[in-house]
Structure 1
Amino acid sequence: MKTFARLIWRYVLTAVGVVLLLLVLTISLLGWISWREGYLQPQREYSYSEIADSMVETDNGMIFGAEHAPEEWMDGYAWAMILDEKGNVKWNYDLPDELDNHYSSSDIASFSRWYLDDYPLFCWSEDYGLFVAGLTKGSLWKYNLYNSPNVLQDIVHGIPLVILGMLLLVLIFCLWIGWRGTKRLRIVAEGLDALADGQTVQLPTDGFTGELAQKLNQTSSHLQKRNEMLVRRDDTRTQWIAGVSHDVRTPLALILGWGEQLEQDSSLPDTVRHKAAGIRTQCEKLRSLIDDLNLTSKLEYGAQPLRKETFTAGPLFRELVAQFYDSPLAENCEITLNQTNAAEHAQISVDRALLARLLENLLSNSVRHNSESVKICIETEIRENFLYLTVIDNGKGYPPEILAALNLQETTENTPHILGLHVVEQIAAAHGGKSIFESNYPSGARTCVWLPLG
């Protein structure tokens, strides 16, 4: 929903930005038109009324005022003339030949408002006659508009309302477009969330998001087929491992039983009994590997159900350590168990069989990877809402490549076998905890497993 809210605000801000952009563009356009009109219009130094007022009547006729030269007075105008009361041309300045005529009162009334033979002009009445200043053809449009005062007032008062109304309509349109787009995008966003959760997606492909929805539908279909293939592959792999493990266990049990019999047969030479003991030891390792392989396969694909029960941590760990002491591996190690008072009485909800496997793998790893007898210290304590199980030995410790494979998930062709420790990781994760493997100072291995309290 946060993404959806941000999307709506983005559209709202976009709509407001579009409105403001239109307003700025409109004002800029009006300003440019005004500037262009002022730039293209002929620039006149003096108005026609000022020129008319400056005219001086002499015995030789009309002349421009002495303040400026005629060219300066007429800067921006093409020609000028003065008509007397009868409509005759009394004086002129660069007057075109076709305009040197007699003009009746109706002619004067007409060209004073419009044009004189397509020449735009301006008129000013003086005591000496009618002063007329003209421009070149096509240099100016000259039309008179007639409106009542009420219309002009309505226009002046209505312009702000019209502008606001137009802006409001544009804003409503933008919001409507944004709402429609957001609605479509919300469907796509929900489809993406469903796709991320591994669900099948089938979105409508109409509207402007149709192409994107179609791509998501195709992606969902491909992922669904791939997931089905992976599930079938994983099921096949799990069944194959379980079948092979089952088939191997029967001959392995026979070999292990025969090895124990030969090892305990006092009538055999010591060398034969020693070899029989080696056969038994290797069979036990092989049986442990098969169990780990079966368990890691089930944990990885969720085929191993968790049968959680609530236990008191102190008695449970003492029982699990005592259980390990019954195995032949306990002959090559010395185990101490230290539990804090809080850990002794803490309640944890675990699968007892899996927790026993976790502890057995850690203890077996310390014994098998050290040629001499090893001292192992098991500690439990409570930190926040977790029980911290720490297993420390004084052996050779974890090689760097093992630590990289466990903690950094970096594996190479030369990475040693870590199936048993990988099972420890999986069991801890299945209980909602985690495990950390590190070297112990000054020597040995250190493993910390966090288990949530029940």
Structure 2
Amino acid sequence: MMQTKATRKIATRFVLYFLTFYVITVTSLFALLIYGVTQSVPSSSFYTLDELLPEDIGSPFSSFPIEEDRIGDELQTVATGAHGTFTLLDDDLRVIDTMRRDGPATYTWETIATDPNGRFWTLANGQHLYFELDQPAERALAHYPERIEQTVIERYSPDGVRIATENESLEPLDLADLKPWSSLPNEREEWTASRVERDGSILVARAWNERYEPSNNSFQRFVQLFIIYHIFLFVLALLFSLWIGLRFGRPIFHFLKWQQRLSARDYSIDKPKRLYRNGTLRRRYQMFDEFDESLETLSHNLATLEKERAEIDTLREQWITGLSHDLKTPLSSIYGYAALLASYDFSKEDVRSYAETMEQKAKYMDTLLDDLTYTYQLKHGIATTNREPTDWDELFRQYVSHVEQRSRIRYEGETAVVSIDRIAFERVHDNLIHNALRYSPEHSFVDVTLRSTDSNVQFSVWNEGAPLTDEAIRQLFDRYYRGTNTTESIDGTGLGLAITASIVESHNGTITARNERGGIQLTITLPRLTT
């Protein structure tokens, strides 16, 4: 489930990134196309003059209206785009309205007819619309010797050799360049005009064409835009890939290093600031939060297991050492007495005494092995139990009546029915009571209480004694925690509490220990049997 959720989040994030990249790419393509179209508008404006028809001009409802004998804004826009001016004339070619600043008041049919770059329309109302190419070189030549800005005056010999110029940096013109204009204005790199002087020299005016844009540049512009767009797309894709790589690569690399540390049994948790804030993944990396949580949980669990394994290894070594000692001590006694009996003649009383000692040591070894077998069966769930509804209060009172030191036991209880194996809990009672009597001062009391709640029953045994450390309490019920020493006056195998804990757990119960009122209190909790 976690893998499906994480995969869905990563896939969704990748789709969003792709859509973002797609939107940026399409938007940039449209912007580039719009730029190309807007830049190509001036070169195509001149063609609008050839598309103008008389019926398109003049009436209020036409595409290019003329109102109150005035050239409209639409026509002025067309003229500006075509590098020229419009002049509105009456039937006698007198100027009604014009865009020119220095034009004549009246035109002649000869002037209009000989203008190679002009356009002329006769409107429905009898008026005429005349277009003149705004040629700065011709204006400079007409006003010579008056100086016109951004123009250059040159003089050539009849055979085409430049005699004088106002700008030596300009290349001399070819006489072929001085022919009348036959192409679109945007096709020429510069404006030129010429006239023959009385002395036979040729006076030439030159001006840079600010709107120079030859039609064959369309393909070049397309190629340029194509190259620019793909360079932009390449850089964008490179940056976008780098950004995505860092966004996904950093956490993935972090998790891989984390796994490598785990494989090397390094369970430390490293949370670098560039990936985490206040102990949690930053917002941009939260798609990996399931991986982070699982690895953190795994690190904690492995660290705990490693610690427990080390403790178990230590306890096992202690247990093996203690068990070896517990078996070796009675075996040494049996071996020693057997050697004595074989080497010397003893009285019947001595022989009987040695035999009793050997029998006691043999019984101890047999009990120790039985306890070890029983703890194994309980731990692996193969011990047979016969549960039945039992009044725990009645069962314990019967047990106490057979205890030799029952005068030291103070009991307070109440009726509490539980489902238990009576024989197994006889052993539980025996282990807890005898343990409390052994490890408490002589003539002190052992307090036993039995209390029930709506769902549980608690059986507690308290005895006076030195407090235990937290580590000792935690390992108190571990079968590896303590071995026994048959040389001590206290008998038993030392596995009583481990067996008790296993019996309680097999009955779905718990057993705990704590320091209480200057002593130790053990508490068993079992589910209450409801009738």
Shorter-chain TM-score: what band?
0.3 to 0.5
Give the TM-score, by structure 2 length. Answer: 0.41
Bigger CA radius of gyration? 2
